[in-house]
Amino acid sequence: QNMSTTTTLPDRKILLLGAGFVTTTVIEYLTRRRENIVTIATRSIEKAQQKRDTYAHNADQIKIESLDIENDDDKLMKLIGENDVVISLVPYTYHVKVAKMVLKQNEQGHKVNMVTSSYISADMEKLDEEAKKLGVTIFNSIGVDPGIDHLYAVKFIEAAHKKGDKVRHFESWCGGLPAPDSLSEGNPLKYKFSWSPRGVLMAGTNEARYLKDGETVIVAPQDLMNSAVQDLSNLHKDFEFEGYPNRDSTVYAKEYGIPESTFILRGTLRYKGFAHFMRALKGSGLVNFEPARDLKGKKWADVSAKVLEASSTSEDDLAAALLKKLNVDANSEEATTIVNGFKWIGIFSNEVPVHDAGTLADALSYLLEQKMSFKKGERDMIFMQNKFIMDKANGKTDTITATMILYGDREGKYTAMAKGTGYPCVIATQLVLDGIIKRTGVFAPHFEEVNDPIMGALMKEDIKMDIVAREE
């Protein structure tokens, strides 16, 4: 492009809600085009300033507004009214509030659209009709999972249906994990945290559902890390995976238009051993969200001795009490794995102080974060695999697997999570701004006219799935 065409483009105004780690890639992409003027609204002013200093081409390209999204309704409404599109990357509980303000601004004659990487909640769904009536785009579920998985699933399913084939089996596995080269020896969860471990400790408090042999299987919360765990070492030769079902997979029969499927499962991936150790942590009684007032000034051995009812705070006595509580044979390999893991984290330590976090679970969460966060030079990874089994019109069977492995960089500038979540979301936003995505209402990436341009742009960022098909 010569200079004359680039300077005449009118300003495009984008309101970015949030300044968390996923926003790095969003800001990087938006600032490639000089006509994009970004306002970051957040409580984390310092984080926003760092991003402005790194990415803005000039002083006016990124503006920063202090915003408490919980309470500053007037300011939020005003900011939405000053922009062409809102990217909502705040906690998902706020998206509906933002969407309602977006609709209100459109009612008052100010054209503004919205994009978010989160699932469509029931309350968000209710805004669909009004959004369509007002001609507003509220694009959801456009991150990594949900997001990239939908893009490829829809593509294969539509292609199969056009040929008269039936999708008998659909499964999708995804996990955000440390790259194998960034796992320290002895880490019992084989996991690292790029955000608070509290959510991981709480995970497994929801039931999950999936479809098997045409019947709905309901997994009770206590079984999620137990009987529901599947050995997935066959997904890829380089990784030892396990996984468990995620949320309600049965809704995808309708969402993807595959009522013919007898097997539908979407699940979470971890390295082998995660669920087993998670069960031990929960079984120990340490994952307790009740208020605990007596943590101040204690060492972990003191707290563990009390919870495990051990005879003393010595490592041997703590280990014996833990194994008794978990009902694990002290001479087994399992016992060694569990005890070594508890020692590695520091739960039996007479030196490691307990963080006075108000509850035992939050104190444990703090300890896990100290021991299992990414250090300098370490990188994260996203592994995703979709598998389809198609019954073809000619009587043969097609098995298609689509696999994506995405790594963060070692400098920690772009994590795999920031690439995987941020780029789909910001590309969708740019396509809405450019008038290429015209669809209105509340929707997810389940439509070819929306998905194809996003997939094309993602490929330019080297974000794609590798496809293997075999016919039998």
Tell me which residues are annotated as active site. 145
**Number of residues that make up the chain:** 472
Q: Reduce the DSSP state of residue 371 to 3 states and report it.
A: helix
User: DSSP string covering 96-125, please?
Assistant: HHHHHHHHHHHHTT---EEEESS---HHHH
385: Cβ contacts below 8 Å, ≥ 6 apart: 172, 173, 174, 235, 236, 401, 402, 403, 404
Single-letter amino acid code for the residue at 306: K
Report d(CA 152, CA 452) in Å as an integer.
Answer: 10
DSSP H helical ranges for 186-273: 198-202, 252-255
List the one residue out of 23, 54, 53, 25 whose CA is nearest residue 40: 23
- Per DSSP, 312 falls in state S
Q: Among 420, 394, 406, which residue's Cα sits nearest to residue 166? A: 394
Whether 99 and 130 have beta carbons less than 8 Å apart is answered as no
